[in-house]
Chain A
Amino acid sequence: MSSQATGSTSTTNQRYKETFSLGRFARVYGAQLGILGVFFGLWIIFIVSAPDTFLSSRIYFAFMSTIPFFAIMAIPLTLVVIAGEMDLSFPSIMGMGMVAFSFVYDATGSGITSIPTRVFLAFIAALIAGGLIGWLNGVIIVKFGIPSLVATIGTQFFWRGAVLVLTEGRNYTLSYIKESFLYPALVGKIGGYFPMQMFWLIIIAILGWVLLNRHKFGAHIYLIGDNVQSAQLMGVNTGRVRIQAFMLIGLISAFAGVLYSFHIAYFWPSLGDGYLLNTLASVFLGGTSVFGGIGTILGTFLGAFIIGAIEAATVAVGLTGFWTQLIYGLIIVLSVIMHTYLRKRVQ
């Protein structure tokens, strides 16, 4: 790698040292500071208005048990949205992953006697199915040049339909999974308290952060979302990177589908219904721009917990469940306004 610019003469190796300035700190971390403020602000409001609920650890273990199912998908969705794309098909991919799981489990029944082995093979099949469907989404979007919003509305229906056709609407009991090591590994409780799905969410969030901020792939995701033509002119394979992003969300969605089905030891063909808007809201609440090029994993992570906590909080605070959606809406709209305002101020 050559490092000498044609025009430069000096060879001294100057190192860049960042001097701390509050303004610069705010510029770089503005969006994250904003969502952190919202997060802790809401938390304090919850504690003050329902101290019995929010000062006991039980509610937090409940959150850690239920929020990861959609928060896990919000991580790769953040990457997709930063790249300027959209995916609406991931709830159906959750279902298709479990179709692959159930079919492979049933099909191996005659040949393999060990249930843990069959469950493991079924698990791998689910991940492969998720990755493949994601790849197909990417190919439809990139090779045919169809806007991802439109393409994934189509594939969302298609794969949900495929789930219903293939299962003929039947439910599957998964009681056998309890014999597999995957059961405690995926949805067990560490020390009887800490849910494993929370552990997986943390792992996926850390991996997602590294991928986005410390890896070439993430650098290209940001560039594509920012200015796809610039990225192309400078030699970034924009098609491949976008296809990989869709594969990633496909793979993780299938994983989330397995987690949820293991959690309830049951596979409903409607698996994933109801997760679409929560997951999307987590991403946008977290400060990811719908126009692409901007977004953070931390924001999405906090966004998911805000979304997940609102429902319990509304009830704990003493309002009826009817208020939940109204408060969701209010917080989402106000946060998005805040993000837009912060972005303009600090740029």
Chain B
Amino acid sequence: MDYRLELRNVSKSFGEVQALENINFQLGLNEIVGLLGDNGAGKSTLIKIITGYHQPTSGEILFNGQKVDHLTVPKARQLGVETVYQERALAELQTLWRNIFLGRELTNKWGLLDITKMRDETYRLMSQSMGFTSSAVSPNSHVGTFSGGEKQGVAIVRALYFDAEIIILDEPTMGLSLKETSKLTNFVRDIKRAGKSAIFIDHNVVHVYNAADRIVVIDRGRIAGQFVTKDITLDMLMEKMIRVAETGNLD
């Protein structure tokens, strides 16, 4: 079995609310999986279980075929999971370089920050990967002053900077302009070309269809079905999505 990541019978409830029920999910090597589902279907909960933010109520998580117990955010990161969160997970009053290295500051053995290195790296990423050309933006700029697209750029570049094996994009096109969205789609293709895996979540069926190898549809905390993108047309997928939303069934 060559799965980068596998969830077996994962369930999650918050008090009385059953957010996820017996989820079996696989992510292959160098595969881009699109996750589709309505608001409240459980997409974000599923993601937060994979990133170690939430612990599943029951079920197993396997990375590269190895079972991992008590997954935490730092542990997931060690295993190569990087996430671009819907809420972007930025600290807006802080500088750009502090945001790039958020939670993973470069330090010496006494925990003292290597600020010069972090600023230099941020500057390199800014000019090479984020495409910031404005002279108003520097590693010392406060992230709160950035536009929505720039903030998203920070969140994405941050995820890519640290050698990620699995990149999770949670609603990355939200609030982006058309140009920024197409840039994002290229990012996802870059991930594929670099031999990494990704989970791509979006409301927009078109974005997911264009970027993903396989599409998994979630509805009311369960997996309603999955398709290999090259076996299904966009029209058929749209039709099925509407049917799921109405009846909870694909066919």
Residues on A close to B: CB < 8 A?
1-10, 13-16, 18, 24, 27-28, 210, 214-217, 219-220, 222-223, 226-227, 229-236, 293-294, 347
Contacts and interface: CB of A to CB of B under 8 A. Distances in A.
Given A16-B119, A235-B73, A5 B138 contact: no
A223 B160 contact: no
Contact of A234 (B103, B106, B122): B103
B122 A16 contact: yes
Contacts of B104: 234-235
B119 A6 contact: no
With a 10 A CB-CB cut-off, give which of A6, A210, A232 has the most chain B CB atoms.
Answer: A6
Interface in B134-179: 138-140, 142, 144-145, 157, 160-164
Interface residues of B, number: 54
A84 to B, nearest CB: 11
B182 interface: no
Where chain A touches its partner, the secondary structure class is loop
B160 A6 contact: yes
A222 B103 CA distance: 11
B91 A227 contact: yes
Contacts of B91: 222-223, 226-227, 230-231, 293
20 contacts: A6-B194, A7-B160, A7-B190, A14-B123, A14-B124, A215-B107, A215-B112, A216-B111, A216-B112, A219-B98, A220-B103, A230-B87, A230-B102, A231-B102, A233-B87, A233-B89, A234-B102, A235-B104, A236-B102, A236-B103
Given A6-B191, A14-B120, A215-B111, A232 B73 contact: yes
Given A215-B111, A215-B112, A226 B83 contact: no
B239 interface: no
Interface string B84-127: 01011111111000100011111100011101000111111101
A65 B74 CA distance: 47
B123 A15 contact: yes
Contact of A226 (B92, B107, B196): B92
A306 to B, nearest CB: 25
Given A28-B140, A219-B98, A232-B73, A5 B160 contact: yes
B120 A234 contact: no
Contacts of B140: 18, 24, 28
Contacts of A5: 125, 128-129, 157, 160-161
Contacts of A15: 120, 123
Contacts of B127: 14
B160 A227 contact: no
Most buried by A among B53, B91, B191: B91
Interface in B176-233: 187, 190-191, 194, 196
A6 B106 contact: no
Nearest to A227: B91
B12 interface: no
A219 to B, nearest CB: 5
A220 B115 CA distance: 14
Contacts of A4: 163
B205 to A, nearest CB: 25
A231 B87 CA distance: 12
B77 interface: yes
Nearest to A223: B91
